Amino acid sequence: MKPKQSIAGMISRREILKLSPLILLSGCDITPGEKTEPLLRTVQQFNDWVQSKVFDPDKLAPEYTDADVTPEEGFRVNGKDAGEPDIDVVNWSLTIEGLVSKPGTYTLGQIAHLPKRTMNTRHCCVEGWSMIPQWAGTPLREFLRFVGADPRAKYIEVRCADDYFTSYDMPSALHPQTLLCYEAYGKPLSISHGAPARIVMPVKLGYKSAKWVHTIILTNEKPGGYWEDQGYDWFAGL
């Protein structure tokens, strides 16, 4: 990915990220333990804060032509578990809770009636590989408007059928390319890729694109995530 300019426009974002806890730990020769936990948290919070300042809500991730799309055989599956959770695609519904005026459950039919966006964007896994699938779904912001989400809520948490979870800052959730995705390659999402609906967020690392989403919660208290709680970057912007 192309390095973004920092606030000052003088040092690249990568350099800011060099302030990551591991480097700091080795540099200061502190062994991880109970005492370093608050330090790690402080550095992570600083890192999230910097990234949220650098984030431009109007800047789109690159979109590619159909000729650039990764052939379907190359549409890789990845996840914390080897298999897939049991999903009842037919009776599935999405629950929305927290700071919304119309909390409750919503069917895939209702979601599919909202405006649809198709996009060829790159999915970047933190493990060092990427691909360009063709995604389609409703922009998450359309769904959030539909359910009367409070735009002043600071965070959004998503929970998944495999007990995975992650969370986002509101500006990233409202980004035009953040999808509540239910199709890939012009077909309903397969179970292995997160059917019936997942998040796709090309402005963030792949672990933010949660599969098998069943609940969305709007909150002002910063939630964590499956990988984030193990020390992975919370903001995870590209």
DSSP 44: H
Number of C-beta neighbours around residue 3 at 10 A: 12
Q: Among Mo ion, ligand MTE, none, what binds residue 84 when CB lies within 5 to 8 Å by partner kind? A: none
State the Rg of the chain over Cα: 18
Question: In the complex, what is the shortest distance from the CB of residue 27 to ligand MTE, in angstroms, rounded to a whole number?
Answer: 28
Which residues would be at the binding site for ligand MTE (CB under 6 A)? 76-80, 125, 160, 162, 164, 193-194, 206-207, 209-212
Tell me whether residue 196 or residue 206 sits nearer to Mo ion (CB atom). Answer: 206
Number of C-beta neighbours around residue 194 at 10 A: 27
Tell me whether residue 22 or residue 77 sits nearer to ligand MTE (CB atom). Answer: 77
Tell me whether residue 181 or residue 218 sits nearer to Mo ion (CB atom). Answer: 181
Question: In the complex, what is the shortest distance from the CB of residue 126 to ligand MTE, in angstroms, rounded to a whole number?
Answer: 7
User: What are the two backbone dihedrals, phi and then psi, of residue 110, each rounded to the nearest 5 degrees?
Assistant: -65, -40
Tell me whether residue 1 or residue 11 sits nearer to Mo ion (CB atom). Answer: 1
Could you tell me if residue 29 is left (phi over 0), alpha (psi between -120 and 50 degrees) or otherwise beta? left
Q: 45: helix, coil or strand?
A: helix
Q: Among Mo ion, ligand MTE, none, what binds residue 233 when CB lies within 5 to 8 Å by partner kind? A: none
Tell me whether residue 50 or residue 173 sits nearer to ligand MTE (CB atom). Answer: 173
Site for Mo ion in 116-155 (CB under 5 A): 125
Q: Among ligand MTE, Mo ion, none, what binds residue 143 when CB lies within 5 to 8 Å by partner kind? A: none
Q: Among ligand MTE, Mo ion, none, what binds residue 209 when CB lies within 5 to 8 Å by partner kind? A: ligand MTE
Question: In the complex, what is the shortest distance from the CB of residue 231 to Mo ion, in angstroms, rounded to a whole number?
Answer: 15
Question: In the complex, what is the shortest distance from the CB of residue 121 to Mo ion, in angstroms, rounded to a whole number?
Answer: 15
Comparing CA positions, the residue from 6, 9, 43, 48 lying closest to residue 23 is 43
Compose the 198-237 pattern: x for residues touching Mo ion by CB under 5 A, - for all others.
--------xx------------------------------
Comparing CA positions, the residue from 23, 167, 152 lying closest to residue 99 is 152
Tokens (6 digits) for 157? 């948490």
Q: What is the DSSP string of 37-51?
A: HHHHHHHHHHHHHHH
Comparing CA positions, the residue from 129, 156, 130, 146 lying closest to residue 216 is 156
Largest CA distance in the chain: 56
Residue ranges in contact with Mo ion by CB under 5 A: 125, 206-207
